[in-house]
Structure 1
Amino acid sequence: MSEIRQKALQKIAKCLELGNSANVHEAAQAIRMAQSLMRKHGLDQTDIELIQMGKTSTQTLLPSDVGQNILRIIRGINSRFGVEAVLVNHKGLKRAEFVGNADRAIFAAFAFDIVYREMNQQVGSFRNSFAGSGTDNLTVSRRTASFTAGWLEGALEKLPDLRSGDRSSHMDDYLDEMFEKLDRETFKAQLKASMAKVTPDFEKGIKKGRKISVSRPVEGARAKAQIGSS
């Protein structure tokens, strides 16, 4: 191996290391640099496609028993971004990791954090609107569940569609390598089975959810997320 190629591979390895940075801008830049170097030094298309794969963790910690609303968010993000989510254990809780094209995986995790946080705020406000109304708890729960389903429907519609072509042929290989000890099939079954219960509050939720705005992360990362819902 020539000295030039050896140095190039070392630089690519460094870029890949930076690709795991918590700073989403730095991580995306590092992945793009690695891809450019690989093309420049003649690595084949398979190598380039594999290096484009990445995983990004959400900042949000989830309960160990993941509910239907979280599954709906994950299912929607998977569909719109062309990624796949894996739930990993974290100190008795769960954390979602999105896998796919590195840039899209970064954006998917970023979007999940925004949608999940905003959902909790909007659903809390809706539930609190029944305070003092005399509405029984069963009715409040049923109407809140329907509002939540509608809100998620509207919010997920607003996510950008980043799919480009078919699912990467390298996705399963990458998932098997990175998450070989996880039961992904059970999680996939949960996603497929997740269904919404609809009441008239569903439409109200849709209108609220459609007000959310998720912009691509920029330098300064997730703290500067722009959210336009009310």
Structure 2
Amino acid sequence: MTEDKKRILEKIRKCMALGSSANEHEAAAAMRQARKLMDMHGLTNEHVELSELGKETTASEHVNPPLWAAALQTVIARAFQCSAFSGRHRAIFVGRAENAKVAAYTYEVLMRQIKSARQAYTAERVPVWLSPAQKKKVSQGYCEGWVSSVQQSVREFAAPLRDEEDEKHQRFMEEETGNGPIPEAKPRKSVSERHSLARQASYAGAVDGEKVSLHHGVNRGEEAFRLAQLA
């Protein structure tokens, strides 16, 4: 979306906001101005609705995220009423602008935490004689368990994202990329379900993941969420 289009849409939103004024003449004039701008620039109500959304992108170490990384991004997105999208070395959150920002920040914080926890587990409890391939499976199993505990914590408060909101986020991404419908992510397989060492690691990861609490907050005078790392 060009900067000119963004400015026009912002003007339209302001006019529409004035359209709810208690002053009937002011409200009518504002709505006429909004409609005039929309007609002049070939914009629809859907364009205005989509302009209220925002996209936040944060770096990811993965080209094709494993199950645990994709699940973590999805659960964070749902916690903040966003939709999750992935790119090469990117995690993308789309939703209300303020929600998308908090979701991206939360993702960065939790990714740092899970990597730190994984590193500690690997150093302290993974046998040195395992092959690199086995160590990778154990590492992924640990992360799967860790994320599963965070998912349980989020389910306690997160409201489900309505289908119409998810569809609106999809249309927003289509407008942003200009590439048409966004393809669905390929399903990932669980490592811990197929390998005994990874399954054992997932139990330890689940215990450590229970120490993370993601819950509501009321800071900065706006509806937001707060991330707390419990000791």
| Fold match by TM threshold 0.5 | yes
Compared CA separation, residues 39 and 112, structure 1 to 2 (3 A): farther
Change (3 A) 1:52 1:212: same
1:228 paired to 2:229:
yes
Query: CA 1:81–1:143 in structure 2 vs 1: closer, same or farther (change >3 Å)?
Result: same
Give 1:152 deviation, angstroms.
0.9
Does the alignment pair 1:166 with 2:167? no
Is the Cα–Cα contact under 8 Å of residues 56 and 92 in structure 2 kept in the other structure?
yes
Please report how far the alpha carbon of residue 46 of structure 1 lies from its aligned counterpart in structure 2 after TM superposition: 4.8
Q: CA contact under 8 A between 2:68 and 2:140: conserved in structure 1? A: no
Cα distance in 2 for residues equivalent to 1:139 and 1:61: 23
| TM-aligned CA deviation for residue 164 of structure 1 | 5.2
Aligned with 2:185 (options 186, 189, 203): 189
Secondary structure of 1:184's counterpart equals: coil
Q: What is the distance in 1 between the residues matched to 2:62 and 2:180?
A: 17
1:153 alignment partner, one of 138, 148, 165: 148
Report which stretch shifted further, 95-104 or 209-218.
Answer: 209-218
CA separation of 1:38/1:157 partners in 2, compared to 1, >3 Å: closer, same or farther? farther
Deviation at 1:98, TM superposition (A): 0.7
Question: Which residue in 1 is equivalent to 2:130?
Answer: 136
Partner of 1:222: none
The number of residues matched between the two structures is 192
What TM-score do you get using the length of structure 2 for normalisation? 0.63
Give the 3-state SS of the residue equivalent to 1:158 in structure 2. Answer: helix
Q: Distance in 2 between matches of 1:183 and 1:12?
A: 23
Counterpart of 1:228 in structure 2: which amino acid?
Q
In 2, the alpha carbon distance for the partners of 1:118 and 1:172 equals 29
d(CA) in 2 for partners of 1:97 and 1:140? 29
TM-superposed CA distance for 1:177, in Å, is: 0.5
Task: Percent identity, please.
Answer: 15
- Residue number in structure 2 paired with 1:68: 67
Q: 1:164 to 1:37 in 2, by over 3 A?
A: farther
Higher share of residues assigned strand: 2
Contact 1:68–1:195, Cα closer than 8 Å, also in 2: yes
Counterparts of residues 200-219 of structure 1 (less than 5 Å): 200-214=200-214
Q: Is the 8 A contact 1:12 1:34 kept in 2?
A: no
Q: Distance in 1 between matches of 2:102 and 2:67?
A: 22
Q: Deviations over 1:23-76 (max 9, x none)?
A: xxxxxxxxxx89856755446975663333211122x34343433332222232
Q: Structure 1 pair 179/147, CA: closer, same or farther in 2 (3 Å)?
A: same
What value does the CA root-mean-square deviation take over the aligned residues? Answer: 3.8
TM-score by length of 1: 0.64
Please name the residue that 2:101 is paired with.
106
Shift of the 37–99 alpha-carbon distance from structure 1 to 2, 3 Å rule, reads: farther
Distance 2:15 2:211 in 1: 37
Q: Which runs of 5+ in 1 are unaligned?
A: 1-8, 17-32, 220-224
Quick one: structure 1 residues 153 and 196, their matched pair in 2 at CA, closer, same or farther if it must change by over 3 Å?
Answer: farther
Against the structure 1 CA distance between its residues 145 and 53, is the aligned structure 2 distance closer, same or farther, given a 3 Å change threshold? same
Displacement of 1:165 in angstroms is 3.6
> Residue 55 of structure 1 contacts residue 102 of structure 1 at CA under 8 Å; is this kept in 2?
yes
